[in-house]
C-alpha cells in the first residue's frame, strides 16, 4: 500500500500572514491561534470486483416481457457460472416492467410495448476473470454492461493510515508557521476531519479486446483524508 501526502503549501486554509498567530473569536489580549489543514492519500490495490449487466426485453404484453427477460437472465447466469470461477456470487436486482412510447415529430405518443429489465450483479475476488465474465454476459444476452466497480477489504485501514499522515502533515506545517512567525507551536486545541475521497473503485485503467476476450485492468484505489487543526501560538519574548 503506497501513500502520498498532499502538498501542504496548497492545503493551508489561508496565508501565514492571515493565520499565523491570529486572534480567533478572542479579545485582543487573548491567545493567538494557528489554523492549518493537512491532507494525505493512500493507494490500495483492489481485491474484489462487482460487475453489473443489464438485461432487457420489449414485448406487446407485460407477461411476455417478463417471461422474455427471465429467459435471457437465466442464460446469462448459466453462461457466467459455466466459466468455473470459484468465488462467485450472482444476484438479480432492479427488476421492473413499464410501458414504452415513441414520440412523433408532432409530439404524439405511439405505444411501443412493455419493456422489462433486470440487472445481474456478479461479485468475485478473482479480478483476472473480470473480462471473461463481462464477455460471457454480453454474448449470452445481456444488452449492456452498466459498470465495473472495484473495492478492497483494506479500505478502512487505508483510511486510518491516511488520517494519521494528514494529522502529521498538519502538525509539521503548523510548526513551520509558528517558527516563521517568531514563536513556537503550543498545544492542540481542535482536530476535526471530513471524508474527501470519491466512492471507491469505479475507475478502469484499460479495456482491450483480444483473441482471449476482453482484458480489463483495474487501477489502484485512492483513499484520501483531510483534517483541520487549531493550535495555540506561543510568541517568543523577542517578539512580544
Task: Please state the rounded mean pLDDT for residues 75-99.
Answer: 95
pLDDT at position 19 is 40
The pLDDT value recorded for residue 5 is 44
* Residues 150-178 pLDDT 10s: 999 999 999 999 999 999 999 999 999 99
What the chain holds in terms of domains, given with CATH numbers, is 2-45+154-235 (3.30.110.170), 48-151 (3.30.70.2970)
Ranges 90-94, 145-149, 156-160, 217-221: which has the least confidence:
217-221
pLDDT at 236: 75
Query: Is the whole-model pTM more than 0.75?
Result: no
Q: Assign 136 a pLDDT band (cuts: 50, 70, 90).
A: very high
Mean pLDDT of 80-101: 94
Alpha-carbon span 94 to 172, nearest angstrom: 50
- Check pLDDT > 80 for residue 117: yes
Phi/psi-derived region of residue 84, left when phi > 0, alpha when psi is between -120 and 50, beta in every other case:
left
> Which has the higher per-residue pLDDT, 24 or 230?
230
**pLDDT level of residue 195 (50, 70, 90 thresholds):** low
Amino acid at each position: 500500500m503506497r501513500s502520498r501526502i498532499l502538498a501542504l503549501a496548497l492545503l493551508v486554509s489561508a496565508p501565514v500572514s492571515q493565520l499565523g498567530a491570529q486572534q480567533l473569536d478572542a479579545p485582543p489580549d487573548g491567545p493567538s491561534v494557528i489554523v492549518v489543514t493537512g491532507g494525505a492519500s493512500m493507494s490500495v490495490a483492489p481485491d474484489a470486483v462487482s460487475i453489473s449487466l443489464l438485461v432487457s426485453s420489449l414485448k406487446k404484453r407485460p407477461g411476455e416481457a417478463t417471461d422474455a427477460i427471465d429467459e435471457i437472465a437465466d442464460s446469462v447466469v448459466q453462461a457466467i457460472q459455466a466459466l468455473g470461477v470459484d468465488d462467485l456470487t450472482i444476484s438479480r436486482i432492479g427488476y421492473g416492467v413499464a410501458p414504452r412510447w415513441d414520440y412523433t415529430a408532432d409530439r404524439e405518443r405511439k405505444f411501443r410495448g412493455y419493456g422489462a429489465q433486470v440487472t445481474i450483479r456478479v461479485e468475485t475476488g478473482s479480478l483476472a476473470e473480470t473480462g471473461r465474465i463481462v464477455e460471457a454476459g454480453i454474448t449470452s444476452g445481456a444488452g449492456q454492461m452498466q459498470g465495473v466497480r472495484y473495492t478492497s477489504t483494506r479500505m478502512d485501514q487505508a483510511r486510518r493510515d491516511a488520517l494519521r499522515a494528514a494529522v502529521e502533515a498538519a502538525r509539521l506545517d503548523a510548526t513551520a508557521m509558528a517558527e516563521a512567525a517568531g514563536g513556537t507551536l503550543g498545544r492542540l486545541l481542535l482536530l476535526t476531519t471530513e471524508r474527501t475521497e470519491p466512492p471507491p473503485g469505479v475507475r478502469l485503467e484499460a479495456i482491450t479486446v483480444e483473441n482471449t476476450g476482453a482484458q480489463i485492468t483495474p487501477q489502484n484505489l485512492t483513499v484520501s483524508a483531510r483534517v483541520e487543526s487549531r493550535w495555540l501560538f506561543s510568541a517568543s519574548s523577542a517578539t512580544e
